[in-house]
Amino acid sequence: MGNYCWRFSPAHSVPQIYQIIITKSASGISILTWSLYIFTASFWIIYGVAHKERAIVINNAFWVILEFIIVLLALIY
């Protein structure tokens, strides 16, 4: 079960991205919070690389990408 959960866990950010794009508004989005998510996921990537844990690296790379998109959209809108 856990093997599948890590693959889909970054998907929780997709509705947030969708909401910002559709409404063209990022009100209520904390840039600081999402930036800290990026910061935290970056450390997990470093940990995954150091311990040769491909699943950790891939999962957190997806997190960073999606969270970066949210921060970027929040800055735009």
All structural domains of the chain, each given as residue ranges with its CATH number in brackets, are 2-76 (1.20.1280.290)
- Over residues 15-24, the pLDDT tens digits come to 999 999 999 9
Mean pLDDT of 33-47: 96
The confidence score (pLDDT) of residue 1 equals: 56
Whether 27 has a pLDDT exceeding 60, the answer reads yes
The pTM (predicted TM-score) of the whole model is 0.84
CB neighbourhood size of 8 (10 A): 10
